[in-house]
Amino acid sequence: MKGEIDRSKLPKHIAIIMDGNGRWASKRALPRVFGHKAGMEALREAVKGCSDLGVKILTVYAFSTENWNRPTDEVSFLMNLLIEYMRKEINELNKNNVKVKILGDISGLPKVTREEVEKAVSLTENNEGIQFNIALNYGSRAEIICACKKIAEEFKEGKISSEEITEELISEYLFTKGDIDPDLIIRTSGEKRLSNFLLWQSAYSELIFVEEMWPDFNKQLLERAILEYQNRDRRFGLVK
Ligand code: FPP
């Protein structure tokens, strides 16, 4: 795609489905986990790229509620990779003013993984640079069910009336509470679906599917996706 990124029309919130780690590795006759390891490097570059450009929020799908059904060895590898990622990256993230936030229920993660994640969140909580949302043990339907249950409880207790149940109110009960909805969702590896990611929040997101596998995602591909986004006509259901 030709042209330059218009800095005044950047997507404020970019969300990424980092898909294709396993296929990237298989193509190289390597075990799948090598793909995850390479995916971690691509993630570092994506955070830096978005932060340098001035994107306000980057959300990545790191581990879904369905991913627990993968082979035990792969799940353990990913849980350990998260520890490695946090330990390796946290000082750099903090130095760059990145604020880490988790989307998902991390109470079910192995203890050490949970502790490292919690440490990263608390260390960076007052940072005012890019907000880096990591969706971990995240599933959008579960998130919506959880919101419905909380709202039902508060309704029962008389704390909210049915008239008060609006889009804004529901958004306040999701993990993304306080965040603007993603303007742009990128999925790598050529798959074209959302896979239970940000279903409520993506109502008006632009979706961009790139053919490259996640470990091959880089600054150029990020910029190309942003450029394509800037060439889209966002109407939000209105007529121009
Ligand atoms: C999808 O590829 C990727 C994942 C399920 C895990 C994402 C993890 C990383 C990018 C590693 C770094 C992240 C952190 C936060 C440490 P896949 O395994 O489904 O690939 P496939 O579709 O080719 O099998």
Convert the pLDDT of each residue in 196-234 to its tens digit. 999 999 999 999 999 999 999 999 999 999 999 999 988
Residue 126 is part of a domain; what is its CATH number? 3.40.1180.10
Q: Is 39 in the pocket of ligand 1 (CB under 6 A)?
A: yes
* Ligand 1, atom 13: closest residue by C-alpha: 40
**Range of the structural domain that residue 226 is part of:** 10-139+181-230
For residue 42, which atom of ligand 1 is closest to its CA? 10
Whether residue 164 is predicted with pLDDT greater than 90 in this model: the reply is yes
What is the structure's pLDDT at 83?
A: 98
Q: Is 162 among the domain residues? A: no
Adjacent-strand bridge partners of 135: 61, 103
Across 161-170, average pLDDT = 98
pLDDT recorded at residue 2: 64
Domain count across the chain: 1
Q: Is 172 within a domain?
A: no
Q: Give the pLDDT of residue 1.
A: 60
Whether 27 maps to a domain, the answer reads yes
User: Is the Cβ–Cβ distance between 134 and 103 less than 8 Å?
Assistant: yes
Q: How many CB atoms lie within 10 A of CB 183?
A: 22
pLDDT at 192: 98
Does 19 participate in catalysis according to the annotation? Answer: yes
